[in-house]
Amino acid sequence: MTPLDIALAAIRDNSLPDAASQLVCAKCIGLMCGYDARWSASEYKIDSVEKTVTANLWNPATNYKSRSFSIAGKIDVTARYRDHRVIFDHKTTSEEIADPGAPFWRQLVIEGQPSMYMLLEWLNQRKVDDAVWDVVRKPSITPRALYKAELTRLQSDGTYFEYTPSEASRMDVLTTARENNEFYSARLAYDCAKERPERYFQRRSVPRLDSEIHEFATELWEQSQEILHARIKNRHSRNSGACMAFHRPCMYLGICSGYDTPDSDNWKRKLQVHSELPILTGDGKNVLTVSRLKEFQLCRRRHFYRYEMGIERQRADDGEALYFGTLWHIGLEAYFLALKETQNGTADAEGIVLTASSTNSNERRIA
C-alpha cells in the first residue's frame, strides 16, 4: 500500500455514515489524491509526525523559570531538507492562497505558531532552521449534473475525468445523470491535480531569526503573567466582539448571557483541558499552548471557561467546517506516517514493505 492508499483508507474509516458527512469525506478523498500528485516528489525526509513537545517557561529578561506554567505543542511534521531541520504546520482555508501577496499570507507572517514550535524545539536542544506552512484551500466546487458529452464518454469507455468507476457506480450515474460522491471525488481530484493545483495547494517558508524567537519568548512570558493575574484576581472580562467569531455563536454564549450555567446538564468537566495533547499528565491547566493563548487574546471569559474551569458541551455540534478539518488532518497524519515508513523502508500495518518507488505510481485511486 502506498501513502496515498493508507491516507484514503484512514479518511474513509473515520467518516460518519450520514449523507452530509459522506460528502465531506468525498471532498477529502479528492483533495488527498491531488495533494499526493502535488507533493509526492518533494525532497523532505520525514523525522516525526504529530510529535508532542513540552518545555519549561522561562523569562528571557531574568532567565528565571516560571513556577506557575510550562509550555507545550504538537508539531504536525518535523523533517529534513538536505542539511536543514524543518517543521511543517498544516492549515486549511477558504481564502485565496495562489497569490503570494494575498491577505492570508500577510497574516501568517505574524502568526505565533511556528515561533512557539521553534522555541519548544530550541529549549529541547533541537534547533530548527525553517518552518513551512502546508496550506490546502477547501474546494468550492460541488456535485453537479453530468454534461451530455460526459455521459456519452461514460457510456462508451466507462471513464470520468480519467477515472474508471465501479460498474455499480457507473450505472447509478447513468441513471440519475448526476454525480454521486465517487464521481464528485474523481472530478475534484482531476481539478486539483491537473487543472488548478496552485489554487488548492501551497507551501510557504516561514523565516524566523533568533532575535524574533527571543521576542516571541518575551511576549509569551508577558501573556503568562496576564493569565496568572486574571487567575489570582478572579477577573475574566468578556469581549462581546468575540461572541460571533468564526461566523458562529461562541459555545459559552448561553452562560455569558445568563441563559445557562456551568453546572447545568449541558456541560461536563474535562479531565485534561488540552484535548489535542492527550499525553500530558494532570489536568493541563498550567500548560500554555498557542491555542490557549489565542483564546485568552480573543476573550478572557471564554479562556476561563475552557482552560481554567475546563468545561465543554455534553454534545458538541462541530459543524461541517470543523468536521472537514478533523477528517483532513486524520488523512494527512496517516499520509505522513506512511511516507515516513516508505522512506525508511519499514513495513506497514499489513506487513507490506513500502519502498520509495511505490509513491511514483500514476494509477488513480479514489474508490
pLDDT at position 107 is 87
Task: Give domain limits for the chain.
Answer: 211-313
Q: List, for residues 305-361, the tens digit of each pLDDT value.
A: 999 999 999 876 667 788 899 999 999 999 999 999 999 886 443 432 322 223 333
Q: Which three cell numbers stand for residue 283?
A: 489536568
Integer Cα distance of 184 and 142 in angstroms: 7
**In terms of DSSP bridges, do strands 64-81 and 84-93 run parallel, antiparallel, or are they unpaired?**
antiparallel
pLDDT at position 346 is 66
Taking alpha carbons only, the member of 252, 233, 235, 236 closest to residue 244 is 252
Tell me how far CA of residue 216 lies from CA of 67, 109, 259, 346, in angstroms.
20, 13, 39, 39
pLDDT at position 316 is 67
Tell me how far CA of residue 190 lies from CA of 121, 257, 344, in angstroms.
39, 48, 30
Q: Please say whether the beta carbons of 306 and 227 come within 8 A.
A: no
* Residue range 138-157: mean pLDDT, rounded: 95
Q: List, for residues 28-60, the tens digit of each pLDDT value.
A: 999 999 999 999 999 999 999 999 999 999 999
Phi, psi of 219 (to 5 degrees): -65, -40
Residue with cell 468564526: 246
Q: Which three cell numbers stand for residue 161?
A: 475525468
Q: How much is the mean pLDDT over the chain?
A: 91
Tell me what percent of the residues of the chain surpass a pLDDT of 90.
Answer: 83
Q: E strands, 187-335, where?
A: 201-205, 267-269, 287-288, 311-313
In the chain, the N- to C-terminal Cα span, in Å, equals 15
pLDDT at position 224 is 98
Of the two residues 279 and 62, the one the predictor is more confident about is: 62
Q: Which three cell numbers stand for residue 307?
A: 482552560
Taking alpha carbons only, the member of 36, 82, 98, 106 closest to residue 336 is 36
pLDDT at position 354 is 28
Q: For the whole model, what pTM was predicted?
A: 0.88
Q: Which three cell numbers stand for residue 85?
A: 531541520
Q: List, for residues 148-179, the tens digit of each pLDDT value.
A: 999 999 999 999 999 999 999 999 999 999 99
Q: List, for residues 93-126, the tens digit of each pLDDT value.
A: 999 999 999 999 988 888 899 999 999 999 999 9
Integer Cα distance of 288 and 122 in angstroms: 17
Taking alpha carbons only, the member of 338, 350, 354 closest to residue 4 is 338
**DSSP letter, residue 193:** I
Confidence of residue 365 (pLDDT cuts 50, 70, 90): very low
As to burial, measured by CB atoms within 10 angstroms (0-12 exposed, 13-18 middle, 19+ buried), residue 64 is: exposed
Read out DSSP for 63-110? TEEEEEEEEEEEEEEEEEETTEEEEEEEEEESS--SSTTSHHHHHHTT
Q: List, for residues 174-221, the tens digit of each pLDDT value.
A: 999 999 999 999 999 999 999 999 999 999 998 889 999 999 999 999
Q: Which three cell numbers stand for residue 102?
A: 494575498
* Residue range 71-91: mean pLDDT, rounded: 95
Side chain identity at residue 268, one-letter code: K
pLDDT at position 109 is 84
